[in-house]
Homo-oligomer: A and B are copies of this chain.
Amino acid sequence: MSLPHAILTALVEKPSSGLELTRRFDKSIAYFWSATHQQIYRELGKLEADGLIRALPGEQPARGQKKSYEVLPAGREELARWTAAAQDPKPLRDAMLLRLRAAAVVGTTGIEADLRRHLELHERQLAEYEEIEKRDFPPGRDSPEDRLRHLVLRAGLDLEAFWTRWLEHALAEFAELPGDGPARDTRSSSPARPLRTGTASSGGAGTRQRR
């Protein structure tokens, strides 16, 4: 729904080829939108067919050759229209949170390592964004454009900070948890019997695949 608009935005900021776009998405767009090179090329084709962008004149190369695109007036208008239109926020879907909730009924064996790994990933991401902030938004510059872009980076940065803190908190909680974690349904009729269900040992090697 909004990949085309992400590409339009990037191209208005600076005309680019598919690969350049891919790099810019990885580098300085990733903190609010991510996309693979396959998605980008596909969408560039559609946007060109729709008359919203065009290949920069001058080069007319075939497969395996750079081709840069720029935004046409129609593209700019579409982007302005989309930006102003009301949109509902999309509901949350976070696998790690789900896994933790699942762990409450099925046992905590194994997640802790991945929590730790995620913590590292988020810490690294956070550090990277802080670099970007230092580089792209030094105290001096604060044109309206800069302030808006800085605002967006702050969101990405603060979200990473949030996850970092949350994961630390979660790990601290784990440290206080008894033994190998719970595996029963609190609402089931079984009383305070501290049973150790089979999940941890039996499922074991993780052989089972779905479908």
* 8 A Cβ contacts from A1-58 to B: 1-2, 4-6, 8-9, 12-14, 29-34, 46, 50, 52
> Does A191 reach chain B (CB closer than 8 Å)?
no
* 8 A Cβ contacts from A60-111 to B: 74, 76-111
B99 touches A210 (CB 8 A): no
B144 touches A166 (CB 8 A): no
Q: Which of B76, B148, B177 contacts A100 (CB 8 A)?
A: B148
B97 touches A83 (CB 8 A): no
User: In the bound complex, what is the Cα–Cα distance between A154 and B8 (angstroms)?
Assistant: 37
User: In the bound complex, what is the Cα–Cα distance between A90 and B92 (angstroms)?
Assistant: 12
A98 touches B6 (CB 8 A): yes
Chain A at the B interface: mostly helix, strand, loop or mixed? helix
Q: Which of B2, B14, B86, B154 contacts A117 (CB 8 A)?
A: B86
Q: Which of A103, A111, A122 has the most CB of B within 10 A?
A: A103
A193 to chain B, nearest CB (A): 13
B97 touches A32 (CB 8 A): yes
Inter-chain contacts of A84 with B (CB < 8 A): 109-111, 114, 206
> Does A140 reach chain B (CB closer than 8 Å)?
no
> Does A196 reach chain B (CB closer than 8 Å)?
no
Q: Which of B13, B82, B202 contacts A185 (CB 8 A)?
A: B13
Inter-chain contacts of A154 with B (CB < 8 A): 166, 169
The 29 sampled A-B contact pairs (Cβ below 8 Å) are: A1-B95, A5-B102, A8-B102, A9-B98, A29-B101, A30-B92, A33-B92, A34-B91, A76-B106, A77-B199, A80-B199, A81-B203, A83-B102, A83-B110, A84-B206, A85-B110, A87-B99, A87-B114, A89-B122, A92-B156, A97-B152, A103-B148, A104-B144, A104-B145, A104-B148, A143-B186, A145-B184, A145-B186, A147-B173
